[in-house]
Structure 1
Amino acid sequence: MTSKQPPLPMRPVRAAQPRFTWHHFAMRFSSTPRGARLARHLAGERLDAWGIPYGSEAHDTLTLAVAELSSNAVRHGHVSGRDFRLRLTAEGTVIRIEVTDTRGERLPTPAETASSDEDGGRGLLLVAALTDRWGWYPCADGPGKTVWAVLEVPPRPEQQGSSQ
């Protein structure tokens, strides 16, 4: 006896749900340019899965902030043989990005100005301009520091509950 089963969908279908209530993602990456690119790529995928779609202003802002902080961890916080860690946290409509490296003596300071012919020096200026707030703190469990940034993501129009 054979029973006919409906075909499986090609892609999982997301159920309609709030953008996010609470989500967490953390991963270690090699302190290399490739590690920084992978951190940006995986952060973008995670944000999309949490309801912040590719191409949206919030998605672009957050992935740029991840890219800049990860690049800084590689460029200024690199210690041979040590990885950097990316942590994303979504609670309510607030997204927090944390990038931890193992170089505690090189503290993050945004450049006052960067000349147009310099390559670099604008990362923290971008993060400060694009996010609601940013900062850093020393690691409590070892050498290094964590640089963080926070962005309030407004609810999508269909989530605001407007009735017309």
Structure 2
Amino acid sequence: MAYFSDVRPLERTGGSVDRPLRDAFRLPAIGASVAEARRRVLARLTEWDIGTVIRDDAQLVVSELFTNAVRHTDSERVDCELRVTGVRLRLAVTDQGSGNARHAGGAAEAPADTRGEGENGRGLLLVSALAEAWGVRPGAGGRGHMVWAELGFGPSAP
């Protein structure tokens, strides 16, 4: 498992980060990697002194996006990046494979089951509810997809 980091100590002024913080990691595209991705996100955000609510929301978002990349693409690996700038946390999950275009990388379209009655399709509704913004774009070199979500935080965030 590869691990990339250019972490700097957290410097806060009024609840925002003075300098951008960034961390990235790569995991195999297997089910067990979803839990590892959550653990890594929690550890890094805790280290950066990000509030509990945002840490919890970020773990859920990463879990949903990572799960979609593993389930709905033929990727061998999945990349994850966390970036904190000012009062925003940006999470990006990138797969490398093709798959069902509706689900590839997590979210080419809105989920079909919007009533929440089925087992699948609710993850993107959760991402949409938790994130201030989210979207999907082609991966580097046009292969795969990068799905991103932004969470806001500030002085009032726990």
Q: Considering the TM-score relative to the shorter chain, is it more than 0.5?
A: yes
CA distance in 2, matches of 1:93, 1:16: 13
Aligned partners of 2:74 and 2:98 also within 8 Å: no
Is the contact made by 1:104 and 1:138 (CA closer than 8 Å) also made in structure 2? no
Moved over 2 A (4+): 103-107, 112-118
Structure 1 residue 139: Cα displacement: 1.6
The alignment of Structure 1 onto Structure 2 pairs a total of residues equal to: 139
Aligned to 2:86: 92
> Corresponding residue for 1:63?
59
2:77 maps to: 83
* RMSD across aligned positions (CA): 2.2
Q: CA deviation at 1:155?
A: 2.1
For residue 140 of structure 1, report the CA deviation from its aligned partner: 2.9
Q: 1:67 deviation in Å?
A: 0.8
Aligned positions of 1:1-164 closer than 5 A:
17-18=11-12, 20=17, 21-53=19-51, 56-79=52-75, 82-104=76-98, 106=101, 107=104, 108=107, 109-114=109-114, 117-156=117-156
TM-score normalised to structure 1 length: 0.76
Q: CA deviation at 1:114?
A: 4.2
In structure 1, C-alpha distance between the alignment counterparts of 2:129 and 2:138, rounded to whole Å: 23
CA–CA separation in structure 1 for the residues paired with 2:10 and 2:43: 18
Q: Which amino acid aligns with 2:138?
A: P
Take 1:16 and 1:46, find their aligned partners in 2: how far apart are those partners? Answer: 11
CA contact (8 A) 2:134 2:149 kept: yes
**Following TM superposition, by how much is the alpha carbon of 1:72 offset from its aligned partner in structure 2, in angstroms?**
0.8
Q: Distance in 2 between matches of 1:153 and 1:77?
A: 32
Q: Which runs of 5+ in 2 are unaligned?
A: 1-8
